[in-house]
Copies of this chain bind each other. A is one copy, B any other.
């Protein structure tokens, strides 16, 4: 009971202000980071950590960049030390030579970040800090190396075992729901009424991963529609005046929107686990569900068509679908990976291309990016593992025979074009 009370009361603390001293530590950031890593850090660490996080939050862009540069340059791995440790280790692999090696290989800034993470809500601040870092590090090798360390720590902290899957529904707190509205990245939620239509009907579900230290911050969420049959139009799926069906009558679960929420967690992948966990949980709750598909955009499809010099984008649905099939399964980057980012994600999860629909997204964004075409990726739980393995090892893409035929048909259209992707 008291764990719950603690969680509740920490939420409460956040609302009504915090007991933290904060206050007026006049030391510079460099002095503070040195203190936190030094002897005092072991005893008064939380006060110092507070001061650093506080100062960082109030810092301007230049000060933030300077802070990162301090970490990146003054707290990097020392190759001399590492070389020496490696030599000792090679001469005799003992506990102490290994410990020395491990210590030499880990830059001090990792310990710094761990020590920062000892005050309430620090994890949230550190995630925000990395979001800043990602902006600054674009063309800066040292900052990119620093980012490698952040990512390494976050991968450990946000390990699947620590995430909690929670249903998002109309009984959720408003301060969480407003984040769902804000973070929805695929099909914008334009009002609280729109949100309610996605959460409240008995044939709709939404799930998010949370981390225990950030209980009101979804990390990633997926919106699900329970349907009879595989849907072919997002506007139909989200129509205001559709009649809900009983959940027990559905045979298909449609993952129609997946959104990452935290810029500071870029590169820490949750989507694969989320889809599989949700599929497993829904199967258990609703044994009538037999098919798990997405209804996904093809965001770079129009770009690709235009790059093909085919003249104006074809309007014939057949042509469009054929081209889309070809784009999804045959258009590749130099490294052999699919051109389309959404496709890469689902193939990487072991999904296969199931059906393609024209006039499936009539929104401005859907027309502009995907030429109105959408695709169902199928999660066949009996095959995802094998599909994934073939994709991971040889970039093989799984697709239904219909899709393969469509793609073959597209070749004729494209023969006119010299630069097949």
Query: Quick one: which of A189-238 are within 8 Å of B by CB?
Result: 192, 196, 202, 210, 212-213, 215-216
Kindly list chain B residues whose C-beta atoms are within 8 Å of the C-beta of A393: 39
Interface of A is mostly: helix
Q: How far is the CA of A384 from the CA of B44 in the complex (A)?
A: 8
Q: How far is the CA of A349 from the CA of B11 in the complex (A)?
A: 30
Interface string of A373-390 (1 = CB under 8 A from B): 000000000001100110
B4 touches A7 (CB 8 A): yes
Interface string of A74-90 (1 = CB under 8 A from B): 00110100110010011
Query: Does A400 interact with chain B (Cβ within 8 Å)?
Result: no
A40-B389, A43-B384, A393-B39 known; A159-B118 Cβ under 8 A:
yes
Interface string of A255-285 (1 = CB under 8 A from B): 0000000000000000011001000000010
Q: Tell me how many residues of A have a C-beta within 8 Å of chain B.
A: 96
Interface string of A147-167 (1 = CB under 8 A from B): 111001101110111101111
Q: How far is the CA of A126 from the CA of B159 in the complex (A)?
A: 14
Among B86, B196, B273, B284, which residue has its beta carbon within 8 angstroms of that of A118? B273
**In the assembly, how many copies of this chain are there?**
4
Q: How far is the CA of A399 from the CA of B19 in the complex (A)?
A: 31
Kindly list chain B residues whose C-beta atoms are within 8 Å of the C-beta of A392: 39, 42
Query: Quick one: which of A289-324 are within 8 Å of B by CB?
Result: none
Top-8 shortest CB links A-B: A105-B105, A95-B144, A118-B160, A212-B212, A117-B161, A98-B145, A39-B392, A43-B388
Which residues on A are within 8 Å of B, measured CB to CB? Answer: 1-8, 11-12, 15-17, 19, 39-40, 42-46, 76-77, 79, 82-83, 86, 89-90, 93-95, 98-99, 101-102, 105-106, 114, 117-120, 122-123, 141-142, 144-145, 147-149, 152-153, 155-157, 159-162, 164-175, 177, 192, 196, 202, 210, 212-213, 215-216, 247, 272-273, 276, 284, 348-350, 384-385, 388-389, 392-393
